[in-house]
Structure formats: structure tokens, C-alpha cells
Amino acid sequence: MTPAAGTAPEGYDKRAFEPFAVTVDLAVFTIRGAVLQVLLIERGQEPYAGRWALPGGFVLPDESAETAARRELAEETGLSDVPGLHLEQLRTYSEPDRDPRMRVVSVAYTALLPDAPPDSVRMDPHLASLEPHGGGDAARAQWLPYDGLGPLAFDHDRILVDAHERVGAKLEYTCLATAFCPPEFTLGELQQVYETVWGTVLDRPNFRRKVLATPGFVEPIPGAARLTGGRGKPAALYRAGTAATLHPPLLRPSREGRPV
């Protein structure tokens, strides 16, 4: 962009303030085999060499943070042109000491994407890009279970906890759960999303009634059915609907003393 220095009125000289680096960090979630997984990269250099970290990188001079998030996701993990990728801003982390090297303000994003079943990776060349590979700055990129992660680099533990909490909360009052599902999915798979993110078990009859009673949450694909888990009755298939929010919301089973 290169702003014209001459046109900057007083008090707006670039050298009048300390320059900040602005970066993006990505908390990328998927659900694989009923387990919530996070996409992480192994750091190749100090600080925190060898530690797992969130993918991310610098915002370039002529792009927005969201554009940078999409670009970094593609560069560092090979996840590009993913159909159904959901990306949304989480919050910005700006503690002065969050990077020991210099002042870095980071805009964190949460991304959700459907799992690519192992079979379709071999079948469909497009879906093959869902298998992340190292690239760009990252030593290697890999899906790891959200539960039981060791300490991550920088303040990435906290970012990940914030992202998880936000996703869990948004499942209650938005149609976000479908972002974890492939284009065609069963109600059992949708329920699995809720159960995995919330860490609870839901009543199947009540769950399906609730989902089907919410206009625009899912729409049936007439005649289509798929066998899940190898056994049992084939399940009817649904597509994501056009609604964005759930009214009334689908609340988590109530805990007693509930944190925010």
C-alpha cells in the first residue's frame, strides 16, 4: 500500500511510534473418529523449537487479517480451496511479552472443517489436499487430539482454550455444527459433532426432533441413505440448510456452577 508520507498530517509519522508486527494464528478444528482434533505445526526454530504451535504468520502490507489467515492456512498446511471451510475471527492477543523476540500483536481465527474420510482421500484428488503436509515455515503440520495436548508454544494454549469455548458456545445458538460435516451427512453424524465438542452424551430421539423442528438447520436429501459404522439401519442424508441461527437454541445439558 505504501502510504504517501508527505500526505500524513502531523502526529501520523510512521516513525513517531514503535512498529508492531501483526500476525494471524489459526485454531483449526476437525472431528475424526469421534475425537476433536486440532491442526498444529511443529516449530523448527527457537524460541520453542520442537514444540507444537498454531499455524499462522505475518499479515502482509496489502492484505486483511482474514486474507492472511486463508493464505497461511494454505501455505503452512496445504489446506487450500477446502470446500466447506468455515473461518471466523476469534479475538486479538496483544500482551507485550507474548513473543520474547519482539512486539507481536496476533489476530486469532477459528477454522472448522469436515473430516476427509481416509477412503475418499485416495479416491478424490481434490479431497487429497485435506491431508496436511508441511510447507512454508512449518517443520510439519499434523492433526492432534485436542484433549491431552502438552504445552504449546507462546500463548497458544490459551488461544486454543478460547477457541474451543467459543465453538462450544456457538453450537448452542447457531448452525455452526454443520461446518464440521461433509456436504451430505446423517443426523447421527451431526449429533456426534455436538457430543464431541461438548464432551457430553445427548438423547438421540430428542436431538433429532430438535434439529428437524428448527427451520433451515438441515434439509433432507430425498431418497438418499447411507450405512454408518458398517452395521445398523442406513441413515437418511441431510444437507446444511440456509439458516444461520437456532431459535430456540440447543442448550448444553445444564451443569450446576457454570463458568462463562
Residues 220-259 that bind DNA (CB under 7 A): 225, 227-236, 248, 251, 253-254
Q: Does 198 bind a copy of itself (CB under 8 A)?
A: no
User: Is the distance from CB of 101 to CB of 162 less than 8 angstroms?
Assistant: no
Residue 175 CB partners (closer than 8 Å, separation 6+): 216, 217, 240, 241, 243, 244, 245, 246
CB 17, CB 3: distance < 8 Å: no
- Does 212 sit near a copy of itself (CB under 8 A)? no
Residue 150 binding a copy of itself, by CB under 8 A: no
Of 231 and 247, the one with the shorter C-beta distance to a copy of itself is 247
**In 78-130, alpha helices (H):** 118-123
Q: Letter for the amino acid at 26?
A: L
Q: How far apart are CA 42 and CA 201, in angstroms?
A: 33
In the list 35, 65, 121, 144, the residue contacting a copy of itself (rule: CB under 8 A) is 65
Q: Is residue 102 a contact residue for a copy of itself (CB under 8 A)?
A: yes
**Closest separation in Å from C-beta 75 to DNA:** 37
Stretch that binds DNA, among 58-66, 119-127, 165-173, 204-212 (CB under 7 A): 204-212
Whose Cβ is closer to DNA: residue 125's or residue 232's?
232
As measured in angstroms, the least distance from the Cβ of 126 to a copy of itself is 27
- 4 sits near a copy of itself (criterion: CB under 8 A): yes
Instruction: Write out the binding residues for DNA, residues 155-194 only, by CB under 7 A.
Output: 186-189
For residue 66, which of 39, 85, 43 has the smallest C-alpha distance? Answer: 85
Q: Which does 145 bind (CB under 5 to 8 A by kind): a copy of itself, DNA, none?
A: none
Q: Which of 145, 223, 225, 222 is nearest to 188 (CA)?
A: 225
